[in-house]
C-alpha cells in the first residue's frame, strides 16, 4: 500500500499548517503498518524535514496544471482544503482534511467567498473520505458545502509540545515581571489588537510572537497600545524558535488567544500542555478545544476588555492552581491518536 501525504504547504514556515504537517507526518511514520509505504509530496525548495532517508515526491507549481500520473499509488492525503494538487478522478483514492472555512468569517468580499467555497466544493467532490479537525469545522462544512452523502469524520490535532522537554526550558524568564503570552500569525483574524485593552488597570506585560502577515495590522496593535499608554508593556517579537516558545510558555502568567477564526487552535493546546491557564475568545472552535479548563472573554468590546483587565485578570491569574487538570485536558489531543485514525481511513477506502 502506497500513501502520499501532501506537505506542499510546509513551504510556509511558522504557520499552523506547517506544524500540522510536520507533527502528523512524523506520527504517521511511527504508526506506519509494515505493509505500507509513506511518501511526502514536498515542495522542491523545502528542507527534507522528515529525514533524507524518507520517501519524497518533489512538488512543483506547474503540477497544478500538469498533474503527476500517480500510477501505482493507492491513497493521496490532501492537507489543504483549497489545494489545486489533488489527483484527477480515477488515479487513486483521496482523503481530504479540511482545517477551516475561515474566509467566510474574515470579512472577504462575497465574490472571494464564492470563489473559495467553489474550490473547497471541488475538492470535496473529488475526495473519497473527508476529515475535519474539529466539530466546529465539520458543522461549518455541512452548513456551507454539499457533501452529497459523504460523512465527515472529526480527527483532532495534537499538541506540538514535546512534554519531555518542558523541564529543559530555561529556568530564567525571558521577560522581567509577570506577563501574558500569545502566539500566531500577525493577521486581523487573530484579533490581537484587542489584547492591549487588557493591560489597563494592572501592571502585566504582553508578549505576542509570530510571523507578520499584515504589516498595517501590526502597526494598528502598537498604535492602540500607545493610545492606551501601555506601549512600554507590549512586545511583538516576530517569529520565534521552538526553544524561545518553550521559554515564553513556561514563564508566562497567562496564555491569551482572542482569535475570531480558528479551525482548531494549536497554540491553545500547546499552552495547556504546559498546564497554563488560558484566556480565549468564544469564537469558532476555541470553546471546543479549551473546554471547561479555559477562561473566556464574553465580548471583545473595548470597554468590556478594559473592565476585565482592571477587575478580573488578577483574580484569574491568582486563582487556584489547576495545572494537573489542565494538562489532563490537553492530553486527549495527541498526534499518535490522530495518526492511528488516519491510517484506519487510508486502509478502509
Same domain, 135 and 181: no
Same domain, 315 and 339: no
* Helices 16-31, 266-273: inter-axial angle, 10-degree rounding: 70
Task: Name the phi and psi angles at 108, rounded to 5.
Answer: -70, 160
Task: Note down the domain range covering 141.
Answer: 2-158+334-348
Same domain, 323 and 176: yes
pLDDT at 114: 97
Same domain, 290 and 182: yes
The span from the CA of 113 to the CA of 109, in Å, is: 6
The string of DSSP letters for 69-92 reads: --TT--EEEE--TT-S-PPPTTSS
Q: Is the pLDDT of residue 326 over 80?
A: yes
Where residue 133 falls (left for φ over 0; alpha for ψ -120 to 50; beta otherwise) is alpha
Same domain, 128 and 190: no
Alpha helices in 127-194 (DSSP H): 135-144
Q: Is the pLDDT of residue 168 over 80?
A: no
Same domain, 11 and 114: yes
* Helices 242-251, 266-273: inter-axial angle, 10-degree rounding: 60
Give the CATH number of the domain where residue 312 resides: 3.40.50.2000
Domains identified in the chain, total number = 2
- pTM of the prediction? 0.92
334 alpha-carbon distance from chain centroid: 14
Mean per-residue pLDDT over the chain, rounded: 96
pLDDT at 160: 87
Please, are residues 268 and 277 in contact by the beta-carbon 8 Å criterion?
Answer: no
pLDDT at 60: 92
Percent of the chain with pLDDT over 90: 91
Which one is predicted more confidently, 107 or 244?
244
Beta bridge partners of 295: 279
Same domain, 143 and 226: no
Same domain, 273 and 315: yes
Same domain, 173 and 289: yes
Same domain, 233 and 185: yes
pLDDT at 230: 98
Same domain, 89 and 195: no
Task: Name the phi and psi angles at 94, rounded to 5.
Answer: -125, 130
Same domain, 104 and 199: no
4 alpha-carbon distance from chain centroid: 22
Please, are residues 270 and 254 in contact by the beta-carbon 8 Å criterion?
Answer: no
Please, are residues 309 and 196 in contact by the beta-carbon 8 Å criterion?
Answer: no
Kindly indicate the confidence band of residue 152, based on its pLDDT and cuts at 50, 70 and 90: very high
Give the pLDDT confidence of 206-221 residue by residue, as tens digits.
999 999 999 999 999 9
Give the pLDDT confidence of 42-59 residue by residue, as tens digits.
999 999 999 999 999 999
Kindly indicate the confidence band of residue 107, based on its pLDDT and cuts at 50, 70 and 90: confident
Kindly indicate the confidence band of residue 131, based on its pLDDT and cuts at 50, 70 and 90: very high
The span from the CA of 186 to the CA of 40, in Å, is: 29
Amino acid at each position: 500500500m502506497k500513501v502520499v501525504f501532501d506537505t506542499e504547504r510546509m513551504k510556509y514556515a511558522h504557520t499552523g499548517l506547517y506544524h500540522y504537517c510536520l507533527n502528523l507526518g512524523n506520527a504517521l511514520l511511527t504508526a506506519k503498518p509494515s505493509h505500507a509505504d509513506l511518501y511526502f509530496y514536498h515542495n522542491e525548495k523545502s528542507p527534507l524535514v522528515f529525514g533524507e532517508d524518507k520517501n519524497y515526491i518533489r512538488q512543483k507549481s506547474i503540477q497544478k496544471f500538469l498533474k503527476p500520473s500517480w500510477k501505482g499509488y493507492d491513497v493521496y492525503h490532501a492537507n489543504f482544503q483549497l489545494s489545486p494538487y489533488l489527483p484527477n478522478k480515477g488515479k487513486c483514492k483521496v482523503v481530504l482534511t479540511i482545517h477551516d472555512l475561515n474566509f467566510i468569517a474574515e470579512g472577504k468580499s462575497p465574490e472571494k467567498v464564492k470563489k473559495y467555497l467553489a474550490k473547497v466544493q471541488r475538492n470535496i467532490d473529488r475526495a473519497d473520505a473527508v476529515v475535519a479537525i474539529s466539530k466546529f469545522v465539520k458543522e461549518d462544512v455541512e452548513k456551507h458545502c454539499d457533501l452529497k452523502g459523504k460523512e465527515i469524520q472529526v480527527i483532532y490535532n495534537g499538541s506540538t509540545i514535546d512534554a519531555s522537554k518542558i523541564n529543559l526550558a530555561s529556568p530564567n524568564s525571558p521577560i522581567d515581571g509577570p506577563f501574558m503570552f500569545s502566539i500566531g500569525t500577525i493577521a486581523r483574524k487573530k484579533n490581537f489588537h484587542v489584547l492591549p485593552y487588557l493591560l489597563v488597570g494592572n501592571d502585566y506585560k504582553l508578549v505576542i510572537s509570530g510571523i507578520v502577515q499584515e504589516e498595517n495590522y501590526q502597526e494598528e496593535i502598537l498604535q492602540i497600545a500607545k493610545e492606551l499608554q501601555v506601549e512600554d508593556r507590549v512586545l511583538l517579537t516576530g517569529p520565534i524558535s521552538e526553544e524561545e516558545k518553550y521559554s515564553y510558555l513556561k514563564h508566562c502568567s497567562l496564555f491569551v488567544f482572542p482569535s475570531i477564526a480558528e479551525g482548531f487552535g494549536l497554540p491553545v493546546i500547546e499552552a495547556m500542555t504546559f498546564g497554563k491557564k488560558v484566556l480565549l475568545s468564544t469564537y469558532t472552535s476555541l470553546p471546543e478545544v479549551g473546554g471547561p479548563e479555559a477562561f473566556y472573554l464574553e465580548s471583545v468590546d473595548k470597554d468590556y476588555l478594559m473592565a476585565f483587565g482592571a477587575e478580573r485578570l488578577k483574580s484569574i491569574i491568582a486563582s487556584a492552581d489547576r495545572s494537573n487538570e489542565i494538562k489532563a485536558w490537553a492530553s486527549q489531543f495527541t498526534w499518535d491518536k490522530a495518526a492511528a485514525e488516519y491510517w484506519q481511513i487510508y486502509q478502509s477506502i
